[in-house]
């Protein structure tokens, strides 16, 4: 029979797997049992809506067997099974497996660690086997298919026979070597301990025929009986008391079930009684899945009714801004065959969703106070989503989310919360100041930032597009208004300064009008300012709609015709350049004005429309 080849990716991984270190190898059993359990879930799930699936509930099981002479371990399930096409698709390509979306190009060492901790499904069986034979029959199908492989050199597929539907996997173990005693896996005690260690919570019985030696009745002789025993406890992890479940068990449960290679940042167990009775087991991932910020990502929690899964991704249980949360909810208040449409209107579900949202928020706040480093990492991964949450639905969720936000700030350029910001405000500071820009380094150089920080005030550095929109929607935090440092009404001046500024503006009104004339529609006004520090000019915006907001909106579809910021060219009247302006004739003044305006734009992180003209003007002045 012709051998088929594994895909290149698969081949590489297989090789890596085969040579991984011995202590990791035992996880193969956990991986195969977990696949069997998934296959049982799938069939059970189907039986809820498909009356042709008639297997009774207590018949669902996983069978293990060892044969010392043949050196084989068999793992069989009576789940959904696979057709010939499915077998090839699922076992012929390793890279498609959800658990293998991590960086494949990383160093070998890291990969091996990943295998050790989390396994990579079916293929882990090659770590202990010289040959793997999979016989599978899809539910309702007539024929079975046999898939067989001895490793990297490929696999064969042929038709076969099987009594029931489901999948039977026979592993022929590798020969023992000096360091690696594969025969150990043929010992009953070893299998038993591996099931306890890794698969105790599997909700279907994992059965094995075990031999028992016991004394014969009425005689001194012993006899050996074979008895089928269930090896696992079968209590789902979330039904056990939290104190009895180790962190490692939660971790394995999470990484196995949600295809992550990294342990979760937080594990949240919620048991609620009263208005609604349910248990939730929730996880906050450490990093964002590769497709998190794309349309493909689907939020949702698994939904169980008294231990039986009724929905794989119940979106209604999670608000969009917490869409990164993974996990499940098990409730006795839901009926088993409730439909999706009915669920949407289910009152119980709404009560649960609200309680879950509150729990997640409190847990995040706890992480923020208890483990700042971890929280900051979390925020780097999901903060953007929280900020979109503030902005969405006209700010309806700002109360829930505002305490969870972090912003980099002028103080040490580290993250601060809004609360920390407000609590650190010196006497007399009236607003929460922020500045927008491409990155913190560029923001730090803005003239207005300097003006504000020189008064001892902290400035929030906004670098994500959504930031300023989110703050605008919030309006205030702890009764303090947010204020963009680039507004023309920064009002940092004291009374005296204000008066002086007004006087200067009046005295130089002619000059300012002329300058505005040279710039035409490019600016709404040219004004003097006392808060520009060492800079001669700066660009500000009139009112609340900033240049940065205009830039963001103009990039959205249809946004070119959106609102425009009203820009104001501010001149520092204490700067020598301003003194010079007063002495110029109109021609020169026009040249200087255009140069200053371009300078202000560049300082604000904007482009200039006509760089050639700018260069010519500079040369002209230099001559």
Q: Between residues 161 and 561, which has the closer beta carbon with respect to ligand ADP?
A: 161
| Closest distance of CB 121 from ligand ADP, Å | 2
What is the number of alpha carbons within 13 Å of residue 617 lying toward its C-beta?
Answer: 18
Q: Between residues 81 and 383, which has the closer beta carbon with respect to ligand ADP?
A: 81
| Closest distance of CB 122 from ligand ADP, Å | 4
| Closest distance of CB 99 from ligand ADP, Å | 4
Distance CA 356, CA 272 (A): 10
| Closest distance of CB 284 from ligand ADP, Å | 22
Distance CA 179, CA 410 (A): 58
At 481, phi and psi to the nearest 5? -75, 155
Q: Between residues 98 and 557, which has the closer beta carbon with respect to ligand ADP?
A: 98
Distance CA 568, CA 361 (A): 41
| Closest distance of CB 419 from ligand ADP, Å | 42
CB 361 within 8 A of CB 397: no
Crossing angle, helix 108-118 and helix 8-18, to 10 degrees? 80
What's the 3-state SS for 542-597?
Answer: ECCCCHHHHHHHHCCCCHHHCCCCEEEEEEECCCHHHHHHHCCCHHHHHHHHHHHH
| Closest distance of CB 120 from ligand ADP, Å | 7
Render 138-193 in DSSP notation, one character per residue: -TT-S-EEEEEE-STT-EEEEEE--SSSEEEEEEEEPPP-SS--GGGGGSHHHHHH
CB 367 within 8 A of CB 383: no
Crossing angle, helix 247-257 and helix 27-47, to 10 degrees? 60
| Closest distance of CB 204 from ligand ADP, Å | 12
Q: Between residues 92 and 437, which has the closer beta carbon with respect to ligand ADP?
A: 92
Q: Between residues 31 and 599, which has the closer beta carbon with respect to ligand ADP?
A: 31
Q: How far is CA 565 from CA 23, 331, 543, 568, in A?
A: 63, 52, 9, 9
Distance CA 482, CA 474 (A): 8
Distance CA 361, CA 355 (A): 10
The CB-nearest residue to ligand ADP is 121
Residue 3 CB partners (closer than 8 Å, separation 6+):
153, 154, 155, 156
Q: Between residues 97 and 392, which has the closer beta carbon with respect to ligand ADP?
A: 97
| Closest distance of CB 134 from ligand ADP, Å | 8
Distance CA 523, CA 536 (A): 17
Q: Between residues 185 and 259, which has the closer beta carbon with respect to ligand ADP?
A: 259
Site residues for ligand ADP per CB under 6 A = 35-36, 39, 77, 79-82, 90, 97-99, 121-123, 167
Q: Between residues 76 and 600, which has the closer beta carbon with respect to ligand ADP?
A: 76
| Closest distance of CB 37 from ligand ADP, Å | 9
| Closest distance of CB 39 from ligand ADP, Å | 3
Q: Between residues 82 and 540, which has the closer beta carbon with respect to ligand ADP?
A: 82
Q: Between residues 122 and 434, which has the closer beta carbon with respect to ligand ADP?
A: 122
Q: Between residues 253 and 322, which has the closer beta carbon with respect to ligand ADP?
A: 253
Render 277-317 in DSSP notation, one character per residue: -EEEEEEE-SS--TTTTSTT----EEEEETTEEEEEEEGGG
| Closest distance of CB 481 from ligand ADP, Å | 51
């Amino acid at each position: 029979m012709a051998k088929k080849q594994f895909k290149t990716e698969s081949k590489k991984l297989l090789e890596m797997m085969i040579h991984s270190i011995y202590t990791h190898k035992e996880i193969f059993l956990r991986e195969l049992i977990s696949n069997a359990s998934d296959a049982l879930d799938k069939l059970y799930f189907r039986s809820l809506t498909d009356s042709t699936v008639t297997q009774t509930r207590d018949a669902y099981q996983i069978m293990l067997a060892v044969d010392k002479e043949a050196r084989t371990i068999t793992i069989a399930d009576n789940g959904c099974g696979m057709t010939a096409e499915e077998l090839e698709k699922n076992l012929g390509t390793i890279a498609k497996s959800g658990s293998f979306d991590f960086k494949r190009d990383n160093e070998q060492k890291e990969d091996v660690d990943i295998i050790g901790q989390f396994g990579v499904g079916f293929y882990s069986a090659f770590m202990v086997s010289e040959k793997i034979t999979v016989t599978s029959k899809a539910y309702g199908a007539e024929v079975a298919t046999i898939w067989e492989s001895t490793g990297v050199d490929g696999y064969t597929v042929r038709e076969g026979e099987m009594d029931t539907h489901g999948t039977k996997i026979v592993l022929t173990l590798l020969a023992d070597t000096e360091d690696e005693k594969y025969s150990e896996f043929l010992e009953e005690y070893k299998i038993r301990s591996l099931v306890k260690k890794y698969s105790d919570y599997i909700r279907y019985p994992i059965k094995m025929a075990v031999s028992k030696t016991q004394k014969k009745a009425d005689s001194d002789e012993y006899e050996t009986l074979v008895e089928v025993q269930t090896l696992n406890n079968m209590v789902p992890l979330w039904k056990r008391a939290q104190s009895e479940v180790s962190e490692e068990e939660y971790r394995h449960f999470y990484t196995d079930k949600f295809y992550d290679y990294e342990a979760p940042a937080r594990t949240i167990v919620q048991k609620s009684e009263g208005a609604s009775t349910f248990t939730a087991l929730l996880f906050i991932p450490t990093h964002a899945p590769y497709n998190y910020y794309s349309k493909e990502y689907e939020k949702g929690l698994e939904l169980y009714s008294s231990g039986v899964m009724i929905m794989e991704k119940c979106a209604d249980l999670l608000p969009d801004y917490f869409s990164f949360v993974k996990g499940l909810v098990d409730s006795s208040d839901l009926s088993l065959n409730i439909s999706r449409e009915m669920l949407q209107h289910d009152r119980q579900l709404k009560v649960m969703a609200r309680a879950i949202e509150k729990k997640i928020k409190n847990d995040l706040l706890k992480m923020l106070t208890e483990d700042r480093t971890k929280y900051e990492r979390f925020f780097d991964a999901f903060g953007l989503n929280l900020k979109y949450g503030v902005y969405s639905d006209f700010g309806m969720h700002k109360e829930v989310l505002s305490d969870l936000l972090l912003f980099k700030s002028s103080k040490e350029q580290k993250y601060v919360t809004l609360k920390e910001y407000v609590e650190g405000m010196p006497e007399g500071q009236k607003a929460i100041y922020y500045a927008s820009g491409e990155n913190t380094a560029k923001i730090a150089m803005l003239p207005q930032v300097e003006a504000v920080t020189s008064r001892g005030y902290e400035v929030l550095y906004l670098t994500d597009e959504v930031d300023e929109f989110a703050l605008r929607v919030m309006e205030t935090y702890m009764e303090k208004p947010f204020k963009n440092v680039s507004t023309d009404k920064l009002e940092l001046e004291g009374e005296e300064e204000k008066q002086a500024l007004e006087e200067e503006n009046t005295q130089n009104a002619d000059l300012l009008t002329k300058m505005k004339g040279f710039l035409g529609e490019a600016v709404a006004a040219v004004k003097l300012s006392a808060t520009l520090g060492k800079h001669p000019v700066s660009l500000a915006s009139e009112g609340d709609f900033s240049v940065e907001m205009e830039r963001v909106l103009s990039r959205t579809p249809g946004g070119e015709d959106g609102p425009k910021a009203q820009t104001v060219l501010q001149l520092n009247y204490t700067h020598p350049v301003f003194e010079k302006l007063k002495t110029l004739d109109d021609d020169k003044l026009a040249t200087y004005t255009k140069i200053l305006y371009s300078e202000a734009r560049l300082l604000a992180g904007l482009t200039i429309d006509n760089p050639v003209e700018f260069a010519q003007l500079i040369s002209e002045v230099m001559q």
